[in-house]
Amino acid sequence: MRNKVLSGLALLGAVTLGLSACGSDGGDDVAAGSGGGGGGDDVITVGFAQTGSESGWRSANTESMKEAFSEENGFELVFNAADNDPAAQIAAVRSFINQGVDAIVIAPIVEDGWDDVLQEAQDADIPVILEDRTVTASEDLYATWVGLDFKLEGQKAGEWAAENFTEPTTMVVLEGTTGSAPANDRAEGFDAAIEGTPIEKIDSQTGDFTRDGGKSVMEGFLQKYGVDGIDLVYAHNDDMGLGAIEAIEAAGAVPGEDIKIITIDAVRDGMQALVDGKINYIVECNPLLGEKAAELVKAVLDGEEVDKRTIVEDQAFDQAAAEEALPDRKY
């Protein structure tokens, strides 16, 4: 009996040692590489610096990225969500550089302040792919970008407003994170589209792309202007619009009727609110960017030429279109 037990323990030890060796091959050895090398059966180690988890859109985007950069697809993903703290996000990128990952993917929280760390990645021969948002740093410091046309999204929202609000209209704006590309571009596109119309922007404040932020800011607007003093809300994303709905209802008004609402994203909760008549119009911002980002990482590491910008097309929805699209919505 003792010999059988010892033999069993020896076999278990051998199996455990073998499993440990397999884990090491897919982790430390790859991470210690010098960047590049996306060919063959090699595991590609990618550091992904996400903004945080501020919205339903962001959660869908994160899941898309994790699915695309999976072990089954030949990747080892080192993931970091910075909780919308730009300094923490830059620190995460520096950590990826120190780990010697093969490539870095960044969804930048804000546009500015990236020059130094992008230069450090370039000096380490680690290509950087921007996902979702953009930066003001030189284009020479990153390989490519994949995302949406935020300015066009704002323009589409503004064109619908201009078409549907032909009488004097007071509007408040729930802005995204201050200094972020979508907040800047969605404001610019919308403002250009409503120029010369009777729509008057009476106030604008950031809700940081969060539902709680949108609710809090809308509560302040309602206290300041009253229900009768606001005709239209333009929210830079669905979550802030959903927060505004809560504030409007708490004030005894009917969202979508007493105060009209336009948002951007088209996540499931927002689309349901559109179907229910609480939101009046939504411009899509597709979060499912993972597959394209993974394709670009492999292409860059293989030395292929890639476009500097890859734009994923968006749709726009009124109530009828939302009713048709919602049953098959993936996010």
Question: How confident is the model over 181-192, as pLDDT tens digits?
Answer: 999 999 999 999
Specify the pLDDT at position 28: 34
Pick the CATH number of 36-147+288-311 from 3.40.50.2300, 3.40.920.10, 3.40.50.880, 1.20.120.160: 3.40.50.2300
Higher pLDDT, 30 or 221: 221
Domain with CATH 3.40.50.2300 in the chain: 36-147+288-311, 150-285
Cα→Cα distances 326→43, 153, 275, 318, 321, Å: 37, 20, 9, 12, 9
Using the predicted structure, report yes or no on whether residue 32 has a pLDDT greater than 70: no
Strands 144-147 and 128-132: parallel
Section 251-268 average pLDDT: 97
Specify the pLDDT at position 41: 61
Specify the pLDDT at position 330: 83
Section 12-32 average pLDDT: 33
- CATH fold of the domain at 150-285: Rossmann fold (3.40.50)
Specify the pLDDT at position 228: 98
User: Does the predicted TM-score (pTM) go above 0.75?
Assistant: yes
Question: How confident is the model over 267-286, as pLDDT tens digits?
Answer: 999 999 999 999 999 999 99
Section 181-210 average pLDDT: 98
Section 109-129 average pLDDT: 98
Binned at pLDDT 50, 70 and 90, residue 52 comes out as very high
